Amino acid sequence: MQAGALRGRRLTIIIGDTQAVAVKQERNVRMCAAPGEEMKVMEVKLITRRVVFILLAASARAQVNPEICRYPLGMTGGQIQDEDISASSQWSESTAARFGRLDFDNGDGDGAWCPHIRLEPDGHKEYLQVDLRSLHFITLVGTQGRHADGMGNEFAQRYMIKYSRDGNNWVGWHDRKGRQVIEGNRNAYDVVLKDLEPPIIARFFRFMPVTDNSMIVCMRVELYGCEWLDGLVSYSIPDGHQMIYRGLDVYFNDSVYDGASAERLTKGLGQLTDGTWGLDDFLHSHIYSMWPGYDYVGWNNKSFVRGYVEMIFEFDHVRNFTSMKVHCNNMFSRGVRMFRQASCYFRSGSEWEADPVTFRPPADRVSQVARFVTVPLGDRTASAIKCRFHFGDLWMLLSEVAFQSGSAVYNTSLTPRKHGHPTNTLPGDDPTHKVDESNTRILIGCLVAIIAILMTIIVIILWRQVWQKMLEKASRRVLDDELTARLAIQTEAFFFQHSSLSTEGGSTSNSTYERIFPLCADYQEPSRLIRKLPEFAQSTEHLDGAPHYAEADIISLQESASDSSTYSITAVNMNLFAGTDSSMKEFPRHKLTFKEKLGEGQFGEVHLCEAEGMQEFLGEDFSIEGNNESPLLVAVKTLREDANKNARNDFLKEIRIMSRLMDPNIVRLLAVCVDTDPLCMITEYMENGDLNQFLCNLRLKEAADEDKAEQEEREGTSMVSYCKLIGMAVQIASGMKYLSSLNFVHRDLATRNCLVGKNYTIKIADFGMSRNLYRGDYYRIQGRAVLPIRWMSWESILLGKFTMASDVWAFGVTLWEVLTLCKKQPYSQLSDEQVIENTGEFFRDQGKQVYLPKPLCCPERVYSDLMLSCWRRNAKQRPSFQEMHAHLTESLA
Ligand code: ADP
Three-class DSSP labels, 652-709: HHHHHHHHCCCCCCECCEEEEECCCCCCEEEEECCCCCEHHHHHHCCEECCHHHHHHH
Ligand 1 centroid to residue 631 C-alpha, Å: 21
Best of 614, 755, 756 to mutate for ligand 1, by most ligand atoms within 8 A of CB? 755
Ligand 1 centroid to residue 474 C-alpha, Å: 36
The residue whose C-alpha atom lies closest to atom 5 belonging to ligand 1 is 601
- Distance of alpha carbon 275 from alpha carbon 25, whole angstroms: 9
Task: Spell out which residues line ligand 1, taking CB within 6 angstroms.
Answer: 598-603, 606, 635, 637, 667, 683, 685-686, 689-690, 755, 765-766, 768, 771
Over 80: is that where the pLDDT of 783 sits? no
Ligand 1 centroid to residue 815 C-alpha, Å: 20
Mean pLDDT of the chain: 74
pLDDT for 187 equals 87
pLDDT for 646 equals 76
Which residue in 145, 155, 157 sits closest to 182, CA to CA? 157
Ligand 1 centroid to residue 598 C-alpha, Å: 7
Atom of ligand 1 nearest to the CA of 769: 2
Atom of ligand 1 nearest to the CA of 686: 24
The angle at the Cα of 210, spanning 207 to 215, to the nearest 5 degrees, equals 115
Which residue in 831, 143, 13 sits closest to 496, CA to CA? 13
The DSSP secondary-structure symbol of 12 reads: E
The residue whose C-alpha atom lies closest to atom 13 belonging to ligand 1 is 599
The DSSP secondary-structure symbol of 29 reads: H
> What proportion of the chain, given as a percentage, has pLDDT over 90?
40
Best of 281, 567, 598, 693 to mutate for ligand 1, by most ligand atoms within 8 A of CB? 598
pLDDT for 421 equals 33
Over 90: is that where the pLDDT of 133 sits? yes
Q: How many CA atoms lie within 13 A of 125 on its CB side?
A: 6
The residue whose C-alpha atom lies closest to atom 12 belonging to ligand 1 is 599
Atom of ligand 1 nearest to the CA of 684: 23
- Distance of alpha carbon 370 from alpha carbon 393, whole angstroms: 15
Q: What are phi and psi for residue 709, nearest 5 degrees?
A: -65, -40
Atom of ligand 1 nearest to the CA of 602: 3
Residue-wise pLDDT tens digits, 646-696: 778 878 888 888 888 899 999 999 999 998 889 999 999 999 999 999 999
Ligand 1 centroid to residue 284 C-alpha, Å: 14
- Distance of alpha carbon 175 from alpha carbon 52, whole angstroms: 31
Best of 280, 600, 606 to mutate for ligand 1, by most ligand atoms within 8 A of CB? 606
Secondary structure class of 527 (helix, strand, coil): helix
Ligand 1 centroid to residue 690 C-alpha, Å: 7
Atom of ligand 1 nearest to the CA of 752: 14
The residue whose C-alpha atom lies closest to atom 26 belonging to ligand 1 is 689
> What proportion of the chain, given as a percentage, has pLDDT over 70?
68
Atom of ligand 1 nearest to the CA of 603: 3
Ligand 1 centroid to residue 781 C-alpha, Å: 26
The residue whose C-alpha atom lies closest to atom 9 belonging to ligand 1 is 601
Over 60: is that where the pLDDT of 502 sits? no
Residue-wise pLDDT tens digits, 94-113: 889 998 998 755 556 678 89
Ligand 1 centroid to residue 763 C-alpha, Å: 12
Residue-wise pLDDT tens digits, 618-645: 876 555 555 566 788 999 999 988 888 8
Atom of ligand 1 nearest to the CA of 667: 23
Over 70: is that where the pLDDT of 194 sits? yes
Amino acid letter, 175: D
The mean per-residue pLDDT over the stretch 830-853 comes to: 89
**Least confident interval from 1-10, 184-193, 382-391, 505-514:** 505-514
The residue whose C-alpha atom lies closest to atom 25 belonging to ligand 1 is 686
The residue whose C-alpha atom lies closest to atom 11 belonging to ligand 1 is 599
Over 50: is that where the pLDDT of 488 sits? no
Secondary structure class of 20 (helix, strand, coil): helix
Best of 368, 627, 648, 690 to mutate for ligand 1, by most ligand atoms within 8 A of CB? 690
The residue whose C-alpha atom lies closest to atom 17 belonging to ligand 1 is 599
Over 70: is that where the pLDDT of 163 sits? yes
Q: What are phi and psi for residue 620, nearest 5 degrees?
A: -70, -40
Ligand 1 centroid to residue 757 C-alpha, Å: 12
More confident residue, 460 or 14: 460
Over 90: is that where the pLDDT of 511 sits? no
Count of residues in the chain = 893
The mean per-residue pLDDT over the stretch 317-346 comes to: 94
Name, in order, each residue with C-beta under 8 angstroms of 383's C-beta and a sequence gap of 6 or more.
314, 315, 316, 317, 318, 319, 347, 348
User: 29: pLDDT confidence band, cut at 50, 70 and 90?
Assistant: very low
The mean per-residue pLDDT over the stretch 498-509 comes to: 31
The residue whose C-alpha atom lies closest to atom 2 belonging to ligand 1 is 766
Q: DSSP secondary structure string, 613-637? A: THHHHHHHHHPPTT---SSEEEEEE
User: 714: pLDDT confidence band, cut at 50, 70 and 90?
Assistant: low
- Distance of alpha carbon 238 from alpha carbon 568, whole angstroms: 47
The residue whose C-alpha atom lies closest to atom 21 belonging to ligand 1 is 635
pLDDT for 439 equals 61
Ligand 1 centroid to residue 345 C-alpha, Å: 45
Over 70: is that where the pLDDT of 769 sits? no
Ligand 1 centroid to residue 867 C-alpha, Å: 27
Taken in order 390, 393, 394, 396, the sign of the CA dihedral is: negative
- Distance of alpha carbon 835 from alpha carbon 814, whole angstroms: 17
Residues designated as active site:
748
Secondary structure class of 275 (helix, strand, coil): coil
From the number of C-beta atoms within 10 Å of its C-beta (0-12, 13-18, 19+), residue 255 rates as: buried
The residue whose C-alpha atom lies closest to atom 19 belonging to ligand 1 is 606
The residue whose C-alpha atom lies closest to atom 23 belonging to ligand 1 is 685
pLDDT for 16 equals 33
Strands 699-700 and 719-720: parallel
Over 70: is that where the pLDDT of 745 sits? yes
Ligand 1 centroid to residue 753 C-alpha, Å: 8
Residue-wise pLDDT tens digits, 449-466: 889 999 988 888 888 777
Atom of ligand 1 nearest to the CA of 683: 23
The mean per-residue pLDDT over the stretch 466-476 comes to: 53
Atom of ligand 1 nearest to the CA of 687: 25
pLDDT for 288 equals 57
Atom of ligand 1 nearest to the CA of 772: 4
Ligand 1 centroid to residue 600 C-alpha, Å: 7
Ligand 1 centroid to residue 759 C-alpha, Å: 19
User: 213: pLDDT confidence band, cut at 50, 70 and 90?
Assistant: low
Atom of ligand 1 nearest to the CA of 600: 10
More confident residue, 415 or 437: 437
Strands 341-347 and 357-359: antiparallel
Best of 637, 685, 697 to mutate for ligand 1, by most ligand atoms within 8 A of CB? 637
Ligand 1 centroid to residue 601 C-alpha, Å: 6
How many helices (H) and strands (E) would you count in the chain? 19, 29
